[in-house]
Structure 1
Amino acid sequence: MAAEHGSDLVQVVVVLAAGVVAVPLFRRLGLGSVLGYLAAGLAIGPFGLRFFQDPQAVLHVAELGVVMFLFVIGLEMQPSRLWGMRRDIFGSGLTQVAVCGGLLTGLGWLLGFPLPTAFLAAMGFVLSSTAIVMQILEERGETSTLAGQRIVSILLLEDLAIVPLLAVVAVLAPVPSGGSDTSQWVTAGIAVAAIATLVAVSRWLLTPLFSLLANAGAREVMTAAALLVVLGAALAMQAGGLSMAMGAFAAGVMLSESPFRRQLEADIEPFRGILLGLFFMGVGMSLDVALVGRDWQIILASVVVMMAVKSAGILIVARMTCAGLREALHRAALMGQGGEFAFVLYAAATAAGIFEPRINAVLTAVVVLSMALTPLVVAAMRLLPEPAAPPDLDGVEGAEQIGAVHDHVLMIGFGRFGQVASQGLLARGIDITIIESDTEMIRAAAGFGFKVYYGDGRRLDVLHASGAGHARAVLVCTDRPETTTAIVRLLKAEFPLTPVMARAYDRPHVLALLKAGVDFHLRETLESALAFGTAALRQLGEAEEALGEIEADIRRRDRARLELEGLGEREAARALMHGNRMVPKPLTRPRQPGQALSRETEAVIQEAAERDALQQDGHPV
């Protein structure tokens, strides 16, 4: 018995170690955490190092991660918001399932498979992986975007589709299932009763229950209650013959307007993350490497063809539903794989005698490989250049319509930073010419009385039309560092006598701007961060005279930092005057041969060595 417990503990340690090693490595390589979990599962599974022999047992437990994930998603979906998405759910979602299912069914039938086999193989692959798609959306911060919400809507419809598909398996079974019409009606009645009970409990019972637990002050009981809600909803739906994931999602939706929504989300989050990672590792363990090696031509061709056909169907539907080309391509790349419900459908088809065991094994390998390839396809999509679609200039004036201007200030970029920066100039009656490349921003600014022209500051003709050569100063307030640097280079090359002031992003961006010849730069968080730190010290009781000394010390250290970064004394002094700031890091590194440092820098280095109080390197700010 002790040996068995020891073996279980070894497996737990192995799972944790594999995830801890693989996920950061894959994320560092830009491949995402999903592919890291899949690779870790493959490495420790029955076809790798063999720490696990039964990946289905791991998947059975890890499915709770998908359940909890959908519960958290449901918490973000108020019923009114979900009702507003009904066109995407039953419009785009149903159309995508029908089109992709028809294309893949036709492909299988043309290849000589019986129609029932072709249909179920196709429909299993049509159901995208909710876990993988949602994880990628979450990592990229796209869950709450309009395009992300459309994808979520389609995923919900696909999750719902597993219920009628399992019923179709029973209908297509070549052998009698032993059931009767009466038993099927009883099953349907149980499903409806489960849904009604879940809605009633979620709507009228759970909020009073959580209020009672909150008043009791038992934090661990609140966590236990949150788990009870998720698992109880999943169990109720499973007992009714429905999807556990849909039960958890429905419970989340019902609680989305509860005052305990954020508390529930915080309680579930640690379990959700761990179990979802375990699910991906279970999928990786399920990949039969021996089968792939034996039938690799068939499996590889099937993966490529099925993903290509499904992606083409998704692209067609997305364009039919008025999605932009970029959004349609992104959706096709993100949803082109088979999903976890395919395993359920294929297992049911095999048990019913529709699939042969070898077909089931090949299709399962195809689905697993398609899931593993999805992060790579999405990463490749990010390398594509942005489409050169013409902007919507309806009601927007271009820079060529500015006309002759003199003695003005030219501002390039009118986002949050530019809007605040312009207020002081306008208060003094200074004439500002503003150009911006975002037409929606131009229209929004017009609603507040601002006259903003459309123009790309990286184009020389736009700069000439905007009067850059006659401007008292050019303020570059664009959001993207590479855009800002390109504009500064062009301005200093064509209009060297015009002062150029630029918004900087981080330390490397500061160095690039200085090399481009910028006259003034300010990192976007500089003044707010210094003011925030000063306020914190004041709140902690520091004397006012000490606050100025501390800020001066930070700036003095920054001057030394800039010099050590390879800048000359004059540039470092200018950066100091402009209020530049760097994250502190050790100043005791050896100087380059022949490098002369100022006395002030030598003093800072000596002080740092003596006090040993500087922080280590962090992310640039």
Structure 2
Amino acid sequence: MPHDGSLLQAAVIFLLATVITVPLAKRLQLGAVLGYLAAGVLIGPSALGLISDTESVARLSELGVVLLLFIIGLELSPRRLWVMRRSVFGIGLAQVLLTSLVIGAIAWLGFAQSLNTAAVLGLGLALSSTAFGLQILAERKELTSPHGRLAFAILLFQDIAAIPLIALLPVISGAGELEADRDTLVHLLQVVGSIGAVIVGGRYLLRPVFRIVAKTHLQEVSTATALLVVIGTAWLMELVGVSMALGAFIAGLLLADSEYRHELESQIEPFKGLLLGLFFISVGMTADFGLLLNEPLLVIGLTLLLVLIKLPLLYLVGRHGGGLDRAHAIRLGIILAAGGEFAFVVFKLAFEQKLLDNRLHDLLVLGITLSMAITPLLVLVLFRLFKARPAPVDVPEEYARIDSDEPRVVVAGMGRMGQIIARVLRAQRVPFVALDTAVEMIDYGRSLGSMPIYYGDPLRPEILRAAKVDKADFLIIATDDPDTNLKTAERVKHLYPHIKIIARARNRQHVHRLLDLGAVPVRETFHSALEMSRQALLGMGLDEDRANARIRRFQRHDEEVLAAQHRVYNDDAAMIQTAREARTELEHLFDADLIEDKGVQ
């Protein structure tokens, strides 16, 4: 018996299914997307039947895709979109045309579909899932990788292409051609007018509104305003038959250069995550798995055929159009080979226009859903087989050619800590050489003056030789990656045992491992935290001498505890005992401070 009579009960069912399946999928390294899909299948009509009103859930869950596209728009800007025009309108157009032609031809010639139906099948199945693709790329932190950037450009074009495709469905169906021509023109004018209204409103109305709301200093009003902008724009676009997601993307794009961009992103992000999860759940709920049980070979064959057609075509587009190497092109194909959420909309309208019969429509929806479901599995398996090499970095020759006398200090890493160290060394006229693998950091460092900063990975022996580490007194490792710091310290100690190493440490465990390598660890937040504590004590009325004494006492105690823990840090029981003893001793020190304060008063 379905339990969707109560909104509260339905919410509990959704949340419970999510809490069970998503962590399990993540633990099995299948990704959150597959976990959400499994949750939808579990509570949907095909399994337990806990939720039967899948249509309402699907409508609400579309807001997840809307919010996702809004945030993507915020992270772009019109200037950056113009830079991407070749990828979006060149490669994106090539992918849609090539894929739709091949799939349409197979449907027409191989499966004896009518020309109009084959055209709809080709165009609909050429679309990929924006929500799935971007979520997987975000989970894997590959949105800025070569295949991630190209995938985003292609998906953006597909979202744009879905608008005319949906508008042209009545014309493709051949229903009322003369009337369709007139309706199409009217619809086109409505679309242009709505987009123009969004652009004008975003440019001239939204900033004053946000300025007024910001002055209220009420968080809930700020959140409501952010949601109003996104949902209101999506609603306006839907009224004229435009993709809600594209409308939200335009709104985000218009606010990308706004001073309120970060505030908007922080307000929308929690809602985006929840509703996007609900979207994936709704996809799992709407699939008719009874059809899979009755005709398994047909459904599985259709799913595999879709993936096996799109993947090589996407590989070709990425390899020859996008200039990707083999591994990145294969990854692009895997991410975008599945069907997309806009295909559900296209095929539903095509079914209403009698271009698809009921059985074919159900087969297509199930095939697209299964293609989405197997995408995380393909990512898990094939990404390991085809490991992508890091993209080549365009390094100016003067950055790579290390020209140095005999430095007394070599600094590895020119981030926040490295820059301060380099400025101090330069002010004291200590000869040094700095290394970094980020060209932007080198640009910035050299812009401050003729800093001896060069491009180079300190893990490579030839770079260490070129930097004349063997002649230096100190190597300071200041990168923000603990593993890189440990590996660098180990490599340098092995090659140059005489050199003294001072290394940035992330936490206490990192400190112990650096001490084992003979390095002097410096905790990256420890001293700044002590200074903040000192300022707080001063603000609460302690005089400067007493505040400084308390901070020195705490620092000395903490360093003694750290040294004691280093002797037993591989023994969990001993570590726990040491921590308890240290806490008791610290309490005694604080008690002594309180007695001293009362005596002074």
Amino acid at match of 1:157: F
Q: Does 1:35 align with 2:44?
A: no
1:45 corresponding residue in structure 2: 44
1:338-487 → structure 2 map (5 Å cutoff): 338-378=339-379, 383=384, 385-387=387-389, 392=394, 394-396=396-398, 408-438=408-438, 441-442=441-442, 445-447=445-447, 448-487=449-488
TM-score (norm 2): 0.82
- Say if 2:432 and 2:452, in contact at 8 Å, map to a contact too: no
- Say if 1:26 and 1:36, in contact at 8 Å, map to a contact too: yes
For 1:48 and 1:103, the matched residues in 2 are separated by: 35
Please list every run of 5 or more consecutive structure 2 residues that lacks an aligned counterpart in the other structure.
592-601
Q: Does 1:604 align with 2:582?
A: yes
State the shift of 1:444 in Å: 5.5
1:509 corresponding residue in structure 2: 510
Amino acid at match of 1:496: P
For 2:266 and 2:27, the matched residues in 1 are separated by: 27
Please list every run of 5 or more consecutive structure 1 residues that lacks an aligned counterpart in the other structure.
573-586, 614-621
For 1:135 and 1:551, the matched residues in 2 are separated by: 48
1:130-149 → structure 2 map (5 Å cutoff): 130-139=130-139
For 1:148 and 1:89, the matched residues in 2 are separated by: 13
2:12 corresponding residue in structure 1: 13
For 1:549 and 1:122, the matched residues in 2 are separated by: 73
For 1:93 and 1:395, the matched residues in 2 are separated by: 35
**Identity, % of aligned positions:** 35
1:546-561 → structure 2 map (5 Å cutoff): 546-550=547-551, 552-557=553-558, 559-561=560-562
Q: Secondary structure of 2:574's match? A: coil
For 2:163 and 2:391, the matched residues in 1 are separated by: 41
State the shift of 1:273 in Å: 3.5
For 1:127 and 1:180, the matched residues in 2 are separated by: 24
* Change beyond 3 A, Cα 1:258–1:466: closer
Bigger share in helix = 2
State the shift of 1:242 in Å: 1.9
* Change beyond 3 A, Cα 1:250–1:542: same
1:584-603 → structure 2 map (5 Å cutoff): 590-591=573-574, 603=581
1:577 corresponding residue in structure 2: none
- Say if 1:396 and 1:439, in contact at 8 Å, map to a contact too: no
Amino acid at match of 1:316: L
* Change beyond 3 A, Cα 1:50–1:443: same
Q: Secondary structure of 1:475's match? A: strand
Q: Secondary structure of 1:501's match? A: strand
* Change beyond 3 A, Cα 1:4–1:438: closer
Q: Write the deviation string for residues 89-148 of structure 1: whole angstroms up to 9, x where unpaired.
A: 322322222233334334445643434444333322322222233434555666688976
* Change beyond 3 A, Cα 1:484–1:193: closer
1:618 corresponding residue in structure 2: none
* Change beyond 3 A, Cα 1:494–1:197: closer
TM-score (norm 1): 0.79
Amino acid at match of 1:290: G
- Say if 1:47 and 1:288, in contact at 8 Å, map to a contact too: yes
- Say if 2:4 and 2:10, in contact at 8 Å, map to a contact too: no
Q: Secondary structure of 2:34's match? A: helix
* Change beyond 3 A, Cα 1:265–1:424: closer
For 2:138 and 2:164, the matched residues in 1 are separated by: 29
1:237 corresponding residue in structure 2: 237
- Say if 2:226 and 2:264, in contact at 8 Å, map to a contact too: yes
* Change beyond 3 A, Cα 1:547–1:32: farther
State the shift of 1:14 in Å: 0.8
Q: Does 1:335 align with 2:318?
A: no
Amino acid at match of 1:169: L
Between stretches 120-129 and 220-229, larger displacement belongs to 220-229
* Change beyond 3 A, Cα 1:264–1:422: closer
* Change beyond 3 A, Cα 1:71–1:488: closer
2:120 corresponding residue in structure 1: 120
* Change beyond 3 A, Cα 1:64–1:409: closer
Q: Secondary structure of 1:51's match? A: coil
1:578 corresponding residue in structure 2: none
For 1:355 and 1:541, the matched residues in 2 are separated by: 78
State the shift of 1:282 in Å: 0.5
For 2:305 and 2:493, the matched residues in 1 are separated by: 52
- Say if 1:97 and 1:158, in contact at 8 Å, map to a contact too: yes
* Change beyond 3 A, Cα 1:481–1:295: farther
State the shift of 1:226 in Å: 4.6
Between stretches 352-361 and 156-165, larger displacement belongs to 352-361
